[in-house]
């Protein structure tokens, strides 16, 4: 009788132990899965690092290209000429040009061909340009590097012939090596004791033009 009563108790104890063992096996980490996860994570981290490196290298390459295309390439060999007057010739050196400009004559008027300037006076300048470079000189670009001012410490005004319906012998086209051409440049300016024609100061500061050239004009 005692054996019959003990049998169910033994069976319950057996199944309890079996269930506990099963739970312990589930709790044990699987070394194979951890290794796989580490490999996956390691691959992902390697890809991110390589991607960041490529971005940095591309950025550096862009900076090198920008520096390589900068107009500030070396020092010029042409000295400043800041005390010129009407009739004098200045020599100008840019990163791509080398030429002479002579101011032959200057006319100032508050009315030109029926047009009035936005400022106080028109300044019509007769010039002669000679190309000293071994490449053709683009005259439109050459004209645009000049400005007129009444204050050498201040800003200036660029050529304005395109802004008014006036008869100006404009300089256009290309000028071959050692050839010369004459034409006109139209400026406008405020009244002042003196007027100055010079290279645009910003171009000189950026070394796009290697030297400064200044002509002092009479007030009238």
**String of DSSP letters for 148-217:** EES-TTS--B---GGGS--------SEE-TT-EEEEEEEEEE---S-EEEEE-HHHHHTTSBSS-EEEEE
Domain that holds residue 201: 84-218
pLDDT, averaged across the chain: 78
Is 47 inside any structural domain?
Answer: no
Identify whether 162 is part of a domain.
yes
Does residue 198 lie within any of the structural domains? Answer: yes
Q: What is the mean pLDDT of residues 182-191?
A: 96
Each residue of 10-50: pLDDT tens digit?
454 455 545 554 455 444 444 444 444 444 344 444 343 33
pLDDT for residue 79: 95
51-87 tens-digit pLDDT: 322 222 223 333 433 343 343 445 788 999 999 999 9
Kindly state the tokens that stand for 134: 């071994």
pLDDT value of position 152: 94
What is the pLDDT, as a whole number, of residue 44? 43
Q: What is the CATH number of the domain that holds 136?
A: 2.60.40.1240
pLDDT at 220: 66
Query: Looking at the domain assignment, is residue 75 inside a domain?
Result: no
């Amino acid at each position: 009788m005692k054996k019959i009563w003990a049998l169910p108790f033994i069976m319950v104890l057996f199944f309890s132990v079996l269930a506990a063992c099963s739970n312990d096996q589930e709790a044990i980490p699987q070394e194979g899965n951890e290794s796989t996860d580490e490999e996956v994570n390691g691959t992902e981290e390697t890809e991110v690092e390589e991607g960041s490196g490529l971005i940095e290298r591309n950025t550096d390459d862009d900076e090198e290209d920008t520096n390589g295309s900068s107009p500030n390439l070396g020092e010029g060999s042409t000295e400043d000429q800041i005390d010129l007057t009407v009739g004098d010739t200045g020599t100008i050196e840019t990163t791509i040009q080398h030429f002479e400009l002579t101011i032959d004559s200057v006319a100032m008027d508050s009315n030109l061909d029926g047009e009035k300037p936005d400022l106080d006076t028109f300044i019509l300048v007769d010039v002669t340009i000679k190309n000293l470079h071994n490449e053709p000189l683009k005259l439109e670009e050459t004209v645009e590097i000049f400005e007129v001012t009444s204050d050498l410490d201040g800003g200036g005004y660029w050529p304005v012939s395109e802004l008014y319906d006036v008869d100006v012998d404009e300089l256009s086209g290309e000028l071959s090596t050692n050839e010369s051409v004459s034409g006109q440049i139209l400026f406008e300016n405020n009244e002042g004791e003196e007027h100055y024609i010079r290279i645009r100061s910003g171009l000189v500061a950026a070394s796009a033009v290697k030297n400064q050239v200044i002509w002092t004009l009479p007030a009238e």
